[in-house]
Every structure is written in C-alpha cells, then in structure tokens.
Amino acid sequence: MYIKSLQLLNYRNYKSLAINLGTNVNVFMGDNAQGKTNILEAIYYCGFAKSHKTNRDKELIEWNSNIAFIRVDIHKSNLDKKIDVKILKDGKKAITVNSIKINKIGELIGTFNVVMFSPEDLRIVKESPSIRRKFMDMELSQLNSRYYSNLVQYNKVLNERNIVLKNKNIDEYILDIYDMQLAEYGEYIIKSRINYLEKLNRISKNIHKDITLGREEINFKYVSTIKDFNNIKESLIKLLELNRKKDIEKKVTSIGPHRDDFNIFLNGIDAKSFGSQGQQRTAVLTIKFASLRIIKEITGEYPVLLLDDVLSELDFNRKRYVLTSIKNLQTIITCTGIEDLTNYLDDQSKIFRVIDGVIQG
C-alpha cells in the first residue's frame, strides 16, 4: 500500500497543494512552523477521520476559508482507493471513498492503514492509561471493523448507564439491562486487546533486541478489572453488580474495559515508573515498528509510515534501526535537515522543501 498523490485546498496553511509521492522514502524538509506536520496530519486524517493533534476539526480549515479539502489517491494490491474529505466550519465533514459517500466513520477506518510516530508518542509509556487504551483502540479499529463497532456500542451504553447513575431516582432494572450489554460488548473488546498484546509481545521481542543490541527484553501485560479471562462476560456482570452501590454514589461506572490498561516491562522492570527517557523512547519505537508488522501480517500489506520530526530525538542505534527498516514500505518523514538521512536515501527517494505552506521539489 502506498499513496500516489496528495491534494489539499484551504487546509491549515496550505491554500492549494498537489504533489505526487514516491513509493519509498519521502522527506519533507524545512524550518519549524512551515507546515511539514500539516502534511502528515492530513494523511492521518484520511485514515481515521480525525486529526492526531486536535479534536476541533474547524482548526484544520485555513483561517479565512469556510471549507477544507483533502484527497489522497492510494494504491492497494486488491483495489486502488481515492479518499476525498471535506471539512466544514460548523464541524461537519463529508467523506467519500471512490466517490461513494461514507455514512459512518467505521466504514472508512481500515480502508487506508497508517502508522504515525511522533515525539508526542512518548506519552504511550509515560502518561495515563487512557493514552494506552487509545493506542490499542486505534490499532485494533483499523484492523477489525467488528472491534470498532463493539467499541462504539460499548461507549454508547456506558454513557447511557452513567446518565442513569446521575438520576435521583434510579431504576435498577434498567441498570441490569445496561450491565448485560456492557458485558457483551466488553467481552469482545477485552479478548481482542489481549490477543493484540500477544501479537505485540511476539513481534516486539526481536525488534527490541535489535534496537538495544540484545541488552533489553520487552514485554507487555494487559491490566484489567477482570481477573478471570476465561469467563470475561460472567466476570463483568458480577463485578458491575458488586460495584453498583459504589457506582451510584460516585455517579460513574467504575469497572470495565474503559478503565483497563497495559504495562510495559523492560527486563522485567516497569518502563513507566523506572525506565529512563531513552528506554521509554526505545519502547515506543519498538511498539510502532511492531504495529507495522502486525498490520502487514493481518492485511497482507504494509501501511504507510509517518515519521514526524522523530529522527533528531533518536540516538545512533535507534536512528540506524529506523532508517534500515523502512526500505519495503512507503515512509513520509518530516525534518529540519537531511544530514542524518543522506546515507539511506537512493534514486527512488523524493525530497520536498517546505516554506510557509509552499512545497518545492
């Protein structure tokens, strides 16, 4: 899978842009605040119908315009795809794939697979469980439409249950119904996450050893309010019932996959609490490259890899691993200079210079 071309109209600081991309390495070089990351953001948006930087779509529209437009033409082994996105000031968006309107976001996710690696991804290791849950949910959603559907339904029921918990007069029969629904959707979510982490463990092992020259071993472990993974649905129902009094007092649902997490261990030590920043960055690098291989294993094609100004943050061994591992997939890199890249670029590589929303190259 690779992007053949990208078009933007009134997107961020791009009034108009039309470029063809190479099938291997594409470098967008320029000073800070020139619009390099906006290119990656637009590509990412076509995969997930959302920005990786903001939840406010209207921020993506050029300041004196009322609509922004993105088009990517994608080559896939089974059928090429053309994704068109229109973003309106009122927060609405219209998306088509090969001129067919997308009515639900779930119909888009998985059409175009993409993995992004940016300095902010260090948060996967360092920050709250919600960041790690989001990572799992995004990866699984683009690999499995059923997972996305279950996640949407689970969150809908969860929100409705929380509304009931805030009422003065609570009908516990309604809570019984919600508990059954949460358990049904939650079972699939938890099973899928555990299965994904098993793949991540298997594939990450050699990647992490290669990056660290054999000095470290990485391991991931799912952390859940559910202890019996052989009877997830029954355990969820039981725990929701046991925690009902507490939930009514707190007016929020206290257990379920929306509270789960996963731990990252380096040589058996918790990376979040005890890992150095270098070790944490290596763990994220491992996670991202393992994600690439999981997508390839499941779909038969590598996704597009987006590297947003990460090379300057990496030491020699990490940089070496990245640049020697991107030969068989389309990679789009942003950077301020290409000094670190020159030994890894070839005649198939394309270099674009970005100056205040204008691209040369």
Going by the annotation, the residues of the binding site are 30-37
User: H helices within 144-171, ranges in order?
Assistant: 145-165
CA-wise closest residue to 105 among 64, 157, 54, 46? 46
304, β-bridge pairs = 114
Residue 340 to residue 312: CA distance in whole angstroms = 8
Would you tell me how many other CB atoms lie within 10 Å of the CB of residue 108? 20
| Annotated binding residues for ATP | 30-37
238, β-bridge pairs = none
The HSE-up count of residue 342 (CA atoms within 13 Å, CB side) is 3
β-pair type (269-270, 81-88): unpaired
For 63, the 3-state DSSP assignment is coil
CA dihedral 237→240→243→244, nearest 10 degrees, is -110
Sole residue written with tokens 């559910």:
226
